[in-house]
Structure formats: structure tokens, C-alpha cells
Amino acid sequence: METVRITKVSKLDDGRLTIYPATIPPLCEYIYRAAAGVCWNKDLSCFQSAAPQDWGHAKWFEQIVAVVRSELGVHLDLTRDTEFAGPEADFKVDIVNANEHVQRWMSEQEQKMKDR
């Protein structure tokens, strides 16, 4: 599995969450085919969520990371150098916690698949 560093996590003016990878994964423009509310924004070179409704930015972060991993085989890696740009005071904390949650969940799922 390819690992790609996340350079930035932010929100657009309309509330959609964006995740900027350091390198552009192959076939990323087809991520929308998963019908999971995640698409590639070619103009900004980032993954972005659908328009927010019931989900907050933490849940959308988990969704984008999980869909990119399952559909493209790419692990998006949040690092100490990742930039955070969200209007909420707790934006970075929420994203870091969401990352820990989704990474743990994906590891558990992969282990279940190995155990079968």
C-alpha cells in the first residue's frame, strides 16, 4: 500500500472538508465512483467531502481517509508538518482524534480480513 503524506486539512467556505496530499495518487479523479461522498477537486488538487449535512468535519475526515484507502489503496498520513485551516478553535484536535480513530478501525478491519 502506498503512503502519501497529508500536507493540509481545511474547510472550504461552503463547509466541505478538503485533504491535500503531498503527491497526487493515480486514478484519484475516479474516487467519486465509490458513491461515498468523496471526490477529487482537480482545481485545488485535493480530496473533498460532499456538502456537509449531518456529519461534522471529523466524520468527513474519517470518511475521506477510509474511502481513499479502500478505493485507491493509498494510506493518507497525517504528520507533524500537516497544516490545519479550520474556522473552529478545536479543528486540529478533532482531526487528529478522527485520524487516530479511523487508523485504528482500518487496522482492525485488515486484521479481520487476514484472520479469515
Helix (H, G, I), strand (E, B) or coil at 52: coil
pLDDT given at position 32? 92
The residue type found at 49 is: S
pLDDT given at position 36? 92
Walk along the chain (116 residues) in steps of 10 and give the mean pLDDT of each run. 93 93 92 93 95 88 94 93 89 92 81 76
Strand (E) or helix (H) holding 7: strand 2-11
What are the structural domain ranges in the chain?
A: 2-115
For helices 57-72 and 91-115, the axis angle rounded to 10 degrees is 40
Which of 53, 74, 65 lies closest to 96 in space, CA to CA? Answer: 65
| Cβ–Cβ < 8 Å for 95, 84 | yes
Neighbours of 85 (CB within 10 A): 12
Helix (H, G, I), strand (E, B) or coil at 55: coil
Which of 37, 42, 45, 43 lies closest to 16 in space, CA to CA? Answer: 37
CATH homologous superfamily of 2-115 equals: Integron cassette protein (2.20.20.40)
pLDDT given at position 115? 80
Strand (E) or helix (H) holding 56: none
pLDDT given at position 105? 81
The residue type found at 2 is: E
